[in-house]
Amino acid sequence: MTAVPFAERGGAVRGLLDLATGCYPAFLFGGGVRALPVFHFHDVTRAWLEPRLQYLVDNGYRTVTCDEIARLAVDGVDPGPNRVALTFDDGWASAWTVAMPLLQPLGLTAILFAIPARISDAAAVRPTIASDAAADAGPAASPAFVTWPELRAMHASGVFDVQSHTRAHAKVFCDPAVVDFVTPGCAGDPLDKPLESSNGDIRFVEPDALGTPIHPTRSRMSDARRFLPDDGTAHRCRQYVAEHGEADFFARPGWRGELERLARGNGRFETDQERQAAIEKELQEGRTLLNDGLGTNTVRHVALPWGIAGRVTRRALRDSAFLTAFAEQPLRRRNVRAGDDRYGLMRLNGKFLTCLPGRGRHWFLTAV
C-alpha cells in the first residue's frame, strides 16, 4: 500500500513534534499573545462552550471575520489588540442550536465552514437552547448538520461568517488493497464515509451497504489519485451478504475470507486530469453552492477537510481566486501573522481558548 505523507498524519507524534519545535503559541504556557489566535470547534454542547465564550467576554476579547484574517495575513493590517477568531467546522446542528444563541447575546461572532452537499432543506428551523421547547432537550435531532433555513438565518444575523469547507468533505479510495468491509454497527462519523459515486454526483458508501469492500482512503484534497473499483465487485459482495443472512452473515466464523475471495475484482486509478478536475469542482462548487444558497457573494475562504492541501489543491485555490485557506502544515506556528502563507493558515484546538491571558486562565496541560 502507498504510504501516507507525513504532512497528512496527525496523532500524538505530530503533536509532540509541534510542541518540541515551538509551533504552539506562547500564551499556552503563560506567555502573552503575539499573533492572532484562530480557534477551531466542531460539534459542541452548551456546558462545554458557554464558559469559554464567557471567558472571552469577561477578559475583553473581541472576534474577527475571515476577511479580517485575510487582511492581516495578506495585507499586514492588524485587527487590533485582544482579537481572536472562532471557527466552527462542518456545520453540525449544534452550531445553530447551541453556538448561535450563546454567541449573539454576548456580542461575539464566529466563522462557520459549511459543507453544502451535506446540507438538507427543511420546512422550518429547529428550536435552540434559547427556546422553551429545547430547554431540556438532549442532542439535536436529525439531520446531523444545519439545514438551509438555519444556515440562512445564521448568515443573515451577522453572527456567523459563513465560508466553505469544500462541496462534500470527501474521502476517496486511494489503493486497490481491501482493508475491510461494511459490517453491521459501523455507522461511525458521517464525514468518514468514503465517496462511492464516480460520475460527479455525491454518494457515499453507506453503513447499510453490508459487504461493500473498503480500501485505504485519503482526503479528496490530497494529491492521492483516486482508485475506482469496478462496480461489479461491490455489487457481488453485497448480493452475497444479502443471500446469506444479511447482518447474520457476519456471525459466521469465516465470513471475511468468503468476502475477500469475492472482492478480487478490477478497477483503475483516475488520471491526473481527472484528479485535477475533481479537486477544482470540490472547491469551486462548494463556494458557488453556498453563495447561491445564501444569496450572497461573500464566500471566498475555505477550510480544507482534515487540514489537508496537496499541491494540486494549492494550485486550484490560486486559480480559483480564493482569498485564504486553512490547512495543516508541519512545523508551522499555530496562529496567524502578517505575511503567512495565505493557503496554509493554521488554527488551534478550541480547548485552549482559556489559556489566553485573563482572569481564570488555564495552563496548557489543564486545558480540556
184 C-beta neighbours (distance < 10 Å), count: 14
Q: What would the grid cell of residue 13 be?
A: 507524534
pLDDT tens digits for 93-150?
Answer: 999 999 999 999 999 999 999 999 999 999 999 999 998 555 444 455 689 999 999 9
Place of cell 488520471: 271
**What CA–CA distance (Å, rounded) separates 234 from 178?**
11
Q: Look up residue 136 and give its amino acid.
A: D
Strand-pair partners of 218: 172
Which alpha helices (H) appear in the chain, and where do they start and end?
11-20, 46-58, 66-75, 94, 100-106, 148-157, 231-243, 255-262, 272-294, 311-319
| Three-state secondary structure call for residue 173 | strand
pLDDT of residue 132: 59
Cα separation, 265 vs 261, whole angstroms = 9
Nearest to 327 by CA among 349, 351, 350, 310: 310
Q: How far apart are CA 216 and CA 196, in angstroms?
A: 13
**Which residues fall within 8 angstroms of residue 217, CB to CB, at 6 or more apart?**
171, 172, 173, 174, 194
Q: Which three cell numbers stand for residue 195?
A: 465517496
pLDDT score for 152: 98
- Residue 113 DSSP label: E
List of domains in the chain: 9-168+282-366 (3.20.20.370), 171-274 (no CATH)
Q: CA 197, CA 213: separation in Å to the nearest integer? A: 14
Q: For cell 459542541, name the residue.
A: 44
Alpha carbon separation from 265 to 195, 226, 254, 262, 292 (Å, rounded): 18, 16, 20, 7, 41
The pLDDT, as a whole number, for residue 173 is 97
What pTM was estimated for this model as a whole? 0.93
pLDDT of residue 62: 98
What pLDDT score was predicted for residue 133?
53
Contact criterion met (CB below 8 Å) for 187 and 207:
yes
Could you say which residues of the chain have pLDDT below 50?
A: 135-138
Burial of 311: CB neighbours in 10 Å, binned 0-12, 13-18, 19+: exposed
CB 74 within 8 A of CB 324: yes
3-state per-residue secondary structure call for 9-47: CCHHHHHHHHHHCCCCCHHHHCCCCCCECEEEECCCCHH
Short-list 363, 364, 330, 326, CA closest to 346:
326
Cα 238 from chain centroid (whole Å): 30
∠ Cα 41 43 49 (to 5°): 65
